Amino acid sequence: MKKINFIFGVHNHQPVGNFGQVFEALYEKSYEPFLRILEKHPKVKCTFHVTGPLLEWLEENRPDYFKRMGEMSRKGQIEFFTGAMYEAILAVLPDRDKIGQIRMLTDYLKKKFKVEAKGMWLAERVWEPHLTKALADAGVEYVVIDDAHLKAAGFSEEQTFGYYLMEEQGETCAVFPISEKMRYLVPFQAVEETIEYLRFVATEAGDRCVVLMDDGEKFGGWPDTYKWVYEEGWLERFFTALEQNADWINTTTFAEYKKIYPSQGIVNLPTGSYTEMGEWSLPTAAAQDYDNIRHELQAKGEMHRYDRYLKGGFWRNFFAKYSESNHLHKKLLWVSNKVEKARLKLEKRSTPKQKAVLEQATQALYRGECNCPYWHGVFGGLYLNHLRFAMYRQFIEAEKLADLILNPDGDLEVTEMDFDKDGRKEIVIDGGAYHAIIAPARGGSLIELDYLKHPINLTDTLTRRKEPYHEKLKALREGKAGGTGVASIHDMVRTKEPGLENKLFYDPESRASMVERFLPLETTVENLLHGQYKELGDFHQAVFQHKLEEPKRKGQPLQMILNHPGLVDGAPVQLTKRLSLDPNDFDLKVLYQLKNLSSKELRFLFMSEWNLTMLAGDASDRNYFIKDRNVKETRLNSAGAELNVTEAGMRDGWLQLEAVFQTDKPAYFWRYPVETISQSEGGFERVYQGSCLLWGWQVVLPPEGAFEAPLSLRLKEKKGS
């Protein structure tokens, strides 16, 4: 009789910072019913990888579920997997954090469930060859990846039914490939199709192994799956079919299979992830071409010949594709280095309190490394502002704690360095109540502003970019798309609100603050909202010269001069920004100075642009305000234009924070919401990313004439708001 070994597992994950109601809903729709049905089939073995954020939530909120998992583990029905505690993309972490994250989850499982996890789930199956040694150093003996990794190395499907050994610097780790075929069968097709596929790959020797380990949320948590998986009984039928065919399907675990069968030999895997991730990480135009090529080959019935060679992009491409992802990652590296410096300092001498602070800083750092906000596809949370907010909050907390060890007096620290690793230096300022980063080579702009008392990165907005899937929305606008949804989660055209196809606006460059725009006099706020305006100047992305004057005495402001001789409507103009920055509370004063270096008169709108976020565009406790003036629309997702304003800003009652702009030269005050249209597993959705606030003046510059205008931004704590 032909036989086959079948390893089945689930990866259950919720990211750091996700809403409590999401944890609740997925517990009810996916995690609990899956475990309940699995308990009814004790002969069906299953591997569980549950990430740190979800384990912590379950332990606190669903202790009975936690206990049931432990009982099933003790009976041998469940094999627990380790991994990065907070589901980080290990390849892009410093080695110390790679090993630290894995050991943290391994220790947690040992403490809570009395197991020594030797197998590992790799977040998003993002593989790079150097990982082998780090995994071995962390005590990992085997890891799962996609069979696409082996196929990219030239292997056929026939060669993916077992495990292989990888080596790096003399250290080894076994690798089990997950079957892509099974990922698409389970649970979306009839149970019989899965059984027939297993029958097809079974052999007389019975030594082959088919692995299916995938998101647990697809069993009830993905759109339309709860009815199919539970109400219509798919999972019950699946487990029953495995039991009924136990004479030739051996449902086993990774540990059991590895104990009995030898490896298939040595493998050297190229960088990669699962097939869809390869597509998502490509630049937009390349991703469209890639998708077209795959559809053409499928239509011709030739995909089986070329599939292994269509690899797509590389996960790290997200750092090049999205400047916000790159900035978040470089914040990770900056904070990780600070925490490591604190650890090294305490090696010489430390108190129990300092050790506790370092432990808290390390955990906050690891939480901020959670992968979800660093990338984007149908899944991935880059477009979800609450997830980016959560990562920055963790990094700010980790940095504050590390500074208690490194800089206990809270002295102002200024560092000139290439923060974002693009070959150009930024100025990193650590004040008593804030962290700020100014980029002279990006228009002398403010690219990060962290408020420490109620941790938030106020400049964490997102650029409105063209995405490949926007073509599906445009097809709706043009009447070329039929229906409101399709079967595949990767192809669905489902919208969470009508008319999204008419709100596709794009930005010409990445968003930042303290950006200067020179615009035609007839420009309106609607032009800027729609991304349809003419830029008369070349200052917004110019390389500014800068001169820094640090305080001579504690408590004095930091002074900085940024200047650039550029062009306005073809004529030479000198722009100087004179900055004064309080070393303690965030109080930034900017004096703008324009000098016409030409012999012709210039007329234009001069606008100072600030992109700030307080997370919720339609919340009643987050509003715009203008001093001594009633504003009709105050919600942060509203647009408006006011004349002769000297003080205005944004107020957040939840964070108890106010951002106040002031000028003694009455100005235009314009604002509009920065909203993106992105695709998620639930369909297309509009997400408020922040607000664009513009302060400006009509300027007439005679030949050799000058113009001057002051503007300040102050952050204020508003207790009881």
Residue 93, classified by CB atoms within 10 Å of its CB into exposed (0-12), middle (13-18) or buried (19+), is: buried
Where are the chain's structural domains? 4-279, 317-457, 465-504
Residues classed as catalytic: 124, 215
Q: Which residues contact 26 (CB under 8 A, 6 or more apart)?
A: 14, 217, 221
pLDDT of residue 493: 62
Q: Which residues contact 258 (CB under 8 A, 6 or more apart)?
A: 141, 142, 163, 174
3-state secondary structure of 336: helix
pLDDT of residue 75: 96
Query: Tens digits of per-residue pLDDT, 441-483?
Result: 999 999 999 999 889 999 999 999 999 888 888 887 666 554 4
3-class SS shares of the chain: helix, strand, coil, % to 5: 35, 30, 35
The number of beta carbons lying within 10 Å of the beta carbon of residue 43 is: 10
CA atoms within 13 A of residue 380's CA, in its CB half-sphere:
20
pLDDT of residue 379: 78
**Residue that has been written with the tokens 């729709």 in this structure:** 29
Question: What is the chain's Cα-based Rg?
Answer: 28
Q: Report whether CATH 3.20.20.70 matches the domain 4-279.
A: no
Rounded to whole angstroms, the Cα distance separating 623 from 359 reads 37
Strands (E), 442-496: 445-451, 456-457
Specify which residues 417 forms β-bridges with: 426
The number of beta carbons lying within 10 Å of the beta carbon of residue 36 is: 13
Low-confidence ranges of the chain (pLDDT < 70): 477-493, 720-721
Write out the two tokens for 258.
Answer: 């590895």
Q: Which residues contact 40 (CB under 8 A, 6 or more apart)?
A: 236, 239
Query: Tens digits of per-residue pLDDT, 639-664?
Result: 999 999 999 999 999 989 999 999 99
Which pTM value belongs to this model?
A: 0.94
If you write DSSP's letter for every residue of 53-109 in order, what string do you get?
HHHHHHHHH-HHHHHHHHHHHHTTSEEE-B--TT-B-GGGS-HHHHHHHHHHHHHHH
Could you tell me if 626 and 669 are in contact, meaning their C-beta atoms sit under 8 angstroms apart? yes
